[in-house]
Structure 1
Amino acid sequence: MSYQVIARKYRPKTFADITAQEHITRTIQNSLRMGRIGHGYIFSGLRGVGKTTAARVFAKAVNCQRIIEDAEYLRTVTEPCGECESCRDFEAGTSLNISEFDAASNNSVDDIRMLRENVRYGPQKGRYRVYIIDEVHMLSIAAFNAFLKTLEEPPPHAIFIFATTELHKIPATIASRCQRFNFKRIPLEQIQQQLQQICDAEKIAVEPDALQLVGRKAHGSMRDAQSILDQVIAFSVDYENDGAISYAKVAELLNHIDDDHLFAVTDAVLARNPVGMIETAQFVICNGYDEQDFLEKLIEHLRNILMVQNLRSTRLVERPDPVRERYQLDAARFSPRSVMLMIDLLVQTSRELKFQFEYRFRFELVLLKLIDLAGESALSASATDVAAGEPQKKKPALSR
């Protein structure tokens, strides 16, 4: 049997398996219990957060024979049983009641006309025919218009589920005829927990910090995290070390810039140390790291400092505990104003860097500017304090 990638092997098969989208799964399950099933749904959100998966589970549930026939099971469980003929056909990919279309490659008026012709025919088994249209925002305006009448007056046996990453591109005439569900970005802790469960099932030893790094690289997408984990497992196999996945191996594969180098930049700013700053810049350049990526990581680094300063807590800093402690210390050493000024400079430079011919010098220059910028901020802050304090000193003299 050919190898099946992790993202497909561990794809959720029930509503309970879908991570971090309880507000959606609960609503769908309640609609099943109450018999209030709509004809049109829009699932929108970031890539890899469970839109198509939720659509497939929903499609399986509406035709599950046990849900249809067993009122107690419907009321208490409300999950596709996976054992009836309809569920088995779905898992085998032979169900005629569920059709999936890729709107990115089938986006013409003729494709929609074929779909409209197909919609007229009822289900052979079960109650509904479910049409899942992925990347629906890729349909042309003419295709949307051709589909409008069918969506407005659909056959009673038809359910349409549109999945999209760009909700704003769907015409209002289509969106207003559907129930809309916005899928949330998956929190890092839940991604890490899911990856740990996968590693346990695959009998792979892994360091928690390594999984956290994989989760951070996925930016809230479970599918991205699972794809990266597949790659990490292949890269990190070390039979002398029982095939364990270490943080160092993951960082090497992902070409990850360690937090130590980001702290080296802010340490150089605090120490007014241009030599240390240039050494950090040379490390980035000589080791083949992307300068644009480093600046983005540095912006995130300063953002973490700013969050700690304003919240007086590290709860929004997605890092291991030792690194959080370093952020706690650095937050007390910078003023919020200097951090915001440095972020503004980095954002502007990051935007301009891609158009610069001398990008290496521009990269070195912006790091050196951070030192002067922080110094100017400190001087202006102290001058403001002096100016604010002068009237207070004169008040006693004036009162006399």
Structure 2
Amino acid sequence: MSYQVIARKYRPAKFADITAQEHITRTIQNSLRMERVGHGYIFSGLRGVGKTTAARVFAKALNCQRMIEDADWLRDVTEPCGECESCRDFDAGTSMNIAEFDAASNNSVDDIRTLRDNVRYGPQKGRYRVYIIDEVHMLSIAAFNAFLKTLEEPPPHAIFIFATTELHKIPATIASRCQRFNFKRIPLDAIQTQLQGICEAEGIKVDADALQLVSRKAQGSMRDAQSILDQVIAFSSESGEGISYQGVRELLNYIDDEQLFAVTDAITAHDAPGMIEVAQFVISNGYDEQDFLEKLIEHLRNFLMVINLRSTRLVERPEGVKERYQKESVNFTPAALMRMTAFLLDTQKELKFQFEYQFRFELALLRLLELDRPSNELQPAPVESGDSKKKPLSSPHQP
């Protein structure tokens, strides 16, 4: 039996299973109840947040026989039943009423003309023919223009759902004819909860800190998190002890919070040798300097959040690490943190185009020791201006 990856095995089959996009699923379900379904939709957002999944569930619900025939089910549940002939055909991939296109590989005028010709034919079963076009921003300008008239005056049985990660590349003439839904980046705790449920269903023992590390690495993308979890499960299978934080950190070559705190500890103590040791740790262990600077910027941002909010609620870390942020935040001022953050952002840009980047990386960390001081200590003393520069110093004994 062929293995099915987690991202496909646990793909949501109904609106309620789509994580952290309630503002979208609620709107779509209300439009189904009210029978106010539009002919064009644009789903935009980060990769892996549920755009194509939501489009597929929406398409499935539009032709679900129980949704069409059972008014109580439509009003109270508003989910595809998964049991009628239309739903079964969809799940088996044999439905003739739902077509998916990849605009990245079918982006020419001829591809759109073929699609436009097919749109004229009504559905074999159900009420609608639904066309899901992924990565729609990859269509050429000529292809968009060829599609414009069909989108403006579509046949009553046709519904178009466009998915894109780059909304700004879609011409205004297309976007203005569609309802637009922006998918949110999925919060870390929502990703962690989902991964925990998957591990329980798979019978895998896992540490909460390990799942949080996987969730942080995914940066708001559920699909990325599930793909990383597949890797982690394979990596941890030898130990027989489940998934540990140390194992995940080793696999992902992830920079530990301890090294980031070592930087801020060195800044607080003005410890140049300690800062050089951190730089050597990063270089000798093969970490990417750009990645380290990115994590360090996030680290300083966490201190800023704690100082300004007097709370750790916006710090996505385990409780023990949050307590450390709370405790050590008294060592910094917001002005110093912002100076250091601005400097690191500039350093990131420079490292991309410079040679001898290891030396420049070390130099950047050492420079942080000076940026912690108040800005007036970093500037030369002002030169006196006006007449005072011309007058000689007088003796205290002169009249």
TM range (shorter): over 0.9
Distance 1:368 1:264 in 2: 13
- 1:170 aligns to 2:170 (yes or no): yes
TM superposition shift of 1:330: 1.9
Asked if the contact 1:99–1:130 (Cα under 8 Å) also holds between the matched residues in 2, the reply is yes
Distance 2:371 2:25 in 1: 49
Asked if the contact 2:370–2:378 (Cα under 8 Å) also holds between the matched residues in 1, the reply is no
Distance 1:240 1:72 in 2: 49
Corresponding letter in the other structure for 1:346? L
Select the residue among 312, 316, 327 that pairs with 1:314. 312
User: 2:180 is paired with a residue of what secondary structure?
Assistant: strand
User: Which residue of the partner structure matches residue 249 of structure 2?
Assistant: 251
Asked if the contact 1:6–1:230 (Cα under 8 Å) also holds between the matched residues in 2, the reply is yes
Distance 2:251 2:315 in 1: 23
User: Which residue of the partner structure matches residue 23 of structure 1?
Assistant: 23
Task: Summarize deviations over 1:186-209 as a string: whole Å, max 9, x none.
Answer: 000000000000000000000000
Task: Summarize deviations over 1:173-227 as a string: whole Å, max 9, x none.
Answer: 0000000000000000000000000000000000000000000000000000000
Task: Summarize deviations over 1:351-384 as a string: whole Å, max 9, x none.
Answer: 1101111101000000000001113548479x9x
User: Which residue of the partner structure matches residue 329 of structure 1?
Assistant: 327
User: 1:251 is paired with a residue of what secondary structure?
Assistant: helix
Corresponding letter in the other structure for 1:175? A
Asked if the contact 1:6–1:226 (Cα under 8 Å) also holds between the matched residues in 2, the reply is yes
Task: Summarize deviations over 1:8-50 as a string: whole Å, max 9, x none.
Answer: 0000000000000001001100110111010000000000000
- 1:299 aligns to 2:297 (yes or no): yes
User: 1:100 is paired with a residue of what secondary structure?
Assistant: strand
Shift in CA distance, 25/362, structure 1 to aligned 2, threshold 3 Å = same
User: Which residue of the partner structure matches residue 84 of structure 1?
Assistant: 84
User: 2:57 is paired with a residue of what secondary structure?
Assistant: helix
Asked if the contact 1:338–1:378 (Cα under 8 Å) also holds between the matched residues in 2, the reply is no
Distance 2:178 2:49 in 1: 20
Distance 2:31 2:51 in 1: 18
User: 2:193 is paired with a residue of what secondary structure?
Assistant: helix
Task: Summarize deviations over 1:315-352 as a string: whole Å, max 9, x none.
Answer: 11000011011111221110111110000111000111
Distance 1:276 1:130 in 2: 61
- 1:37 aligns to 2:37 (yes or no): yes
Alignment of 1:277-292 (within 5 A): 277-292=275-290
Corresponding letter in the other structure for 1:299? I
Alignment of 1:86-101 (within 5 A): 86-101=86-101
Task: Summarize deviations over 1:51-110 as a string: whole Å, max 9, x none.
Answer: 000000000000000000000110100100000000000000000000000000000000
User: Which residue of the partner structure matches residue 56 of structure 1?
Assistant: 56
User: Which residue of the partner structure matches residue 160 of structure 2?
Assistant: 160
User: 2:287 is paired with a residue of what secondary structure?
Assistant: coil
Asked if the contact 1:123–1:129 (Cα under 8 Å) also holds between the matched residues in 2, the reply is yes
Shift in CA distance, 240/196, structure 1 to aligned 2, threshold 3 Å = closer
Corresponding letter in the other structure for 1:228? I
Asked if the contact 1:46–1:165 (Cα under 8 Å) also holds between the matched residues in 2, the reply is yes
User: Which residue of the partner structure matches residue 369 of structure 1?
Assistant: 367
User: Which residue of the partner structure matches residue 397 of structure 1?
Assistant: none
User: 1:375 is paired with a residue of what secondary structure?
Assistant: coil
Shift in CA distance, 94/260, structure 1 to aligned 2, threshold 3 Å = same
- 1:104 aligns to 2:114 (yes or no): no
Q: Mean alpha-carbon deviation: is it higher for 94-103 or for 230-239?
A: 230-239
Distance 2:270 2:21 in 1: 47
Identity of aligned residues (%): 79
Corresponding letter in the other structure for 2:168? H
- 1:217 aligns to 2:207 (yes or no): no
Task: Give the number of equivalent residue pairs.
Answer: 380
Corresponding letter in the other structure for 2:138? M
User: 2:372 is paired with a residue of what secondary structure?
Assistant: helix
Task: Summarize deviations over 1:128-174 as a string: whole Å, max 9, x none.
Answer: 00000000000000000000000000000000000000000000000
Distance 1:194 1:313 in 2: 26
User: Which residue of the partner structure matches residue 67 of structure 1?
Assistant: 67
TM superposition shift of 1:238: 3.0
Structure 2 unpaired stretches of 5+: 382-399
User: Which residue of the partner structure matches residue 182 of structure 1?
Assistant: 182
